[in-house]
């Protein structure tokens, strides 16, 4: 009798080897390339809260009103590339009386920005008609694989980065994320020509100083994707008479304006889906492939070694 390897044993061994090769390929090649900021994004997030704003019709600050911040982010696929993500960001601030705004120019405040970031690191890239120029590590999202440390968050109103420290774990709509917090002390951000009497000056017109502060910033980020599932801010924008250390007019203020419950649910659903995909290609499939590959390879080796007994040809010596 002589022993020969069966087709089944060779097939099992071959599949096992293939899976063992596939496992590190998924973990070290496919998964890192899946961690890329999307370019075909089109999302709306809404903040709501109580606050105050300067009513130009009444020429005074109105307090205790509902304020809504609406932000729409659209990816510019044509200008984006494998390396860079280009996002156009429209942000409007409205009291109830200007909602719904048929045109963002009808809002209390409206800005249009163009953000360009490295799709892998989330670092700013200064190209493609970026506006405004910005720095830092986080703004519309955090980098992938968020760490428990302080990040530099870009505050566009301030025109500078703000340190946000890691402040623990927080659940949003039942979903666990990393909480980062910070504040902005009152800082002069520019000047604006206004009637002197508005800021307590006897002059007809003065270049009043614009000041900005933030009572508190709270961001909850998904650890794996860096997506922000909850955001809360407390902006305060004021005017001061030139050289004064006291606020004369409150232009906008809210102690707490935050993602609505509906926005939280949508952001959590997106984070959960994206995180699940990354976990699948980075952990689940590689571990499964490695385990199954070892099992099938071992079975194949055993069958190859044992072989299958067949009668030896006439005239041949039996092994």
Residue of 217, 252, 212 lying closest to 231 (CA atoms):
217
Q: Tell me if 103 sits within 8 A of 118, measured CB to CB.
A: no
Terminal alpha carbon distance of the chain: 6
Q: Where are the domains of the chain?
A: 2-29+278-310, 30-277
DSSP 292: H
Q: Give the whole-angstrom CA distance, residue 238 versus residue 251.
A: 5
Residue 275: the pLDDT is 83
Q: Tell me if 119 sits within 8 A of 36, measured CB to CB.
A: yes
Radius of gyration for the chain, computed over Cα atoms and rounded to the nearest angstrom: 30
Residue 319: the pLDDT is 42
Residue 31: the pLDDT is 47
**What averages of pLDDT result for each successive group of 10 residues across the chain (319 residues)?**
57 51 49 74 95 92 95 95 94 85 77 94 94 92 96 95 97 97 97 93 94 97 96 97 94 96 97 81 56 54 58 51
Q: Give the whole-angstrom CA distance, residue 34 versus residue 290.
A: 20
Q: Give the whole-angstrom CA distance, residue 125 versus residue 114.
A: 11
């Amino acid at each position: 009798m002589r022993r020969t390897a069966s087709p089944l044993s060779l097939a099992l061994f071959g599949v096992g080897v293939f899976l063992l090769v596939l496992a590190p390929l998924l973990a070290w090649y496919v998964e890192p390339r899946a961690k890329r900021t999307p370019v075909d994004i089109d999302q709306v997030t809404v903040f709501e809260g109580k606050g105050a704003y300067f009513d130009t019709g009444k020429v005074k600050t109105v307090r205790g009103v509902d304020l809504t911040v609406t932000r729409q982010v659209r990816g510019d696929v044509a200008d984006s590339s494998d390396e860079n993500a280009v996002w156009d960001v429209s942000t409007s601030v409205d009291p109830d009386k200007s909602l719904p705004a048929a045109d963002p120019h009808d809002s209390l405040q409206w800005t249009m920005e163009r953000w360009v970031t490295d799709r892998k690191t989330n670092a700013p890239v200064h190209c493609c008609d970026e506006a405004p120029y910005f720095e830092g590590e986080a703004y519309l999202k955090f980098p992938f694989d968020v760490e428990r440390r302080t990040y530099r968050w870009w505050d566009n109103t301030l025109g500078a980065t703000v340190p946000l420290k890691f402040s623990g774990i927080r659940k949003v709509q039942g979903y666990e994320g990393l909480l980062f917090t910070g504040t902005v002390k009152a800082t002069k951000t520019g000047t604006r020509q206004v009637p002197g009497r508005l800021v307590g000056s006897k002059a007809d017109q003065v270049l009043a100083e614009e000041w900005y502060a933030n009572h508190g910033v709270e961001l909850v980020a998904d650890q794996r994707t860096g997506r922000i599932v909850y955001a809360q801010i407390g902006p305060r924008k004021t005017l001061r008479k030139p050289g004064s250390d006291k606020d004369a007019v409150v232009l906008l203020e809210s102690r707490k304006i935050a993602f609505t419950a509906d926005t939280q649910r949508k952001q959590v659903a997106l984070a959960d889906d994206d995180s699940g995909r990354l976990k699948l290609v980075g952990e689940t499939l590689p571990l499964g492939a490695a385990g199954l590959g070892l099992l099938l390879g071992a079975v194949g080796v055993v069958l190859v070694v044992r072989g299958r007994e067949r009668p030896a040809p006439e005239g041949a010596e039996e092994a």
